Structure 1
Amino acid sequence: MRYPIVIEPGSETTAFGVVFPDLPGCFSAGDTLDEAIKNASEAAALWIEDALDQGVAVPPPSSFDAVRGNPEWKGWIFALADVDPMLFDTSAERVNITLPRRVLVRLDRRAKEEGETRSGFIARMAMSA
């Protein structure tokens, strides 16, 4: 999946600034154009993960032509930032983990106290970290 980005040109003394028209408040920068585009992909992944964790809908990417045609971005550079579509995958997957028995007993006790299954408790703990 690729999101269009607009990049404010940098110079010898300023970084290239990156804005995502589709992801409000998501921005990045880089000392070079290549670095700015790479950093943009990382910023988008963090923005999307945070939005999903908070139950906020993630807007789909706009068409590249629509963004490029917006007069607000006149004089800026246009590119696409890659976003791993697995960020949106909410399908359950069975995993096999190995834990010391004493840890498993403690984990099950905590899950029961919270009124959750073992899997649900582990998932919630991982998401809150």
Structure 2
Amino acid sequence: MSTIAYVAVVEGSEKTGYSAFFPDLPGCATAAQGLAELIANARDALALHIEGMVEDGADVPSASSIEALPIDKNLREAGRIIVDVEIDDAPLRVNVSIGANLLRRIDAAAEVSGMTRSGLLATAARQFVDRFRTPTIPSTNARYLVVPSADDHYAVIWDREKNAPLDIGLYV
């Protein structure tokens, strides 16, 4: 499994409700009455869209950085959110040089955990790489900014006009 984070552009307001679309994935969009619900719906829409692409044999596009996506002057953006999705990626066979003692420890840990050597090494590598994943703060003129926590358990919705948090949502 690999995690990819895509940018969703949010439109709407508290009064009218919100919608979000993914510029990197034409046709992938969602809507909700509130921002917290929109985040959950965006994650579901993204997962279903990517799943459909994989089932159809289509290539999953790389995600653009939030800074690389231009601001469309014809849209009234309410903000941008970063939504992640886990996708299955086919394993590749690789040759790795590793010390004999470390390999024995890896094999013992894998056995105790009920994993294969490859599974344990992939899990350890994923955990190591995720430590360097940092949230990207959007450079946009939109009023609201949704910033998920690094572990995706909660998000802060920041009102840029009032320069204060609007809501803090817990997502389990």
Specify the TM-score bucket, using the shorter chain as the normaliser.
0.5 to 0.7
Q: In the superposition, relative to structure 1, how do residues 65 and 74 fare at CA in structure 2: closer, same or farther (>3 Å)?
A: farther
Q: Secondary structure at the match of 2:14?
A: coil
5+ unaligned residues in a row in structure 1: which ranges? Answer: 93-129
Give the Cα–Cα distance (whole angstroms) in 2 for the partners of residues 56 and 15 of structure 1: 32
Tell me which stretches of 4 or more aligned residues in structure 1 moved more than 6 Å. Answer: none
Structure 2 runs not aligned, ≥5 long: 93-172
Please give the residue correspondences for 1:90-109 in structure 2 after superposition, counting only pairs within 5 Å.
Answer: 90-91=90-91
Correspondence for 1:61 among 60, 63, 66 = 63
Contact 2:9/2:77, CA 8 A, preserved across alignment: no
For the aligned residues, what is the CA RMSD? 2.0
> CA 1:74–1:31 in structure 2 vs 1: closer, same or farther (change >3 Å)?
closer
Cα distance in structure 2, aligned partners of 1:11 and 1:64:
23
Superposition pairs for residues 76-95 of structure 1, below 5 Å?
76-84=78-86, 87-91=87-91
What is the aligned partner in structure 2 of residue 112 from structure 1?
Answer: none
> 1:5 aligns to what SS in structure 2?
strand
Identity value in percent: 35
In the TM superposition, what is the alpha-carbon distance from 1:17 to its structure 2 partner?
0.4
Q: Deviations over 1:34-54 (max 9, x none)?
A: 111121011011000000100
Deviation at 1:70, TM superposition (A): 4.2
Q: 1:75 to 1:44 in 2, by over 3 A?
A: closer
Shift of 1:29: 1.1
Deviation of 1:73 after TM superposition, in Å, equals 4.1
Aligned pairs for 1:1-129 within 5 A: 1-12=4-15, 14-67=16-69, 69-84=71-86, 87-91=87-91
Change (3 A) 1:29 1:20: same
| Length, aligned pairs only | 89
Amino acid in structure 1 at the alignment position of 2:12: P
Structure whose CA Rg is larger? 1
TM-score by length of 2: 0.47
Mean CA deviation greater in 29-38 or 44-53: 29-38
Higher RCO (C-alpha under 8 Å, 6+ residues apart) = 1
Q: 1:38·1:81 contact (CA, 8 Å) conserved in 2?
A: no
Which is strand-richer, 1 or 2? 2
Distance in 2 (alpha carbons) for counterparts of 1:67 and 1:37? 19
Inter-partner Cα distance in structure 2 for 1:33 and 1:8 = 10
TM-score by length of 1: 0.61
Quick check: 1:2–1:83 contact (8 Å CA) kept in 2? yes
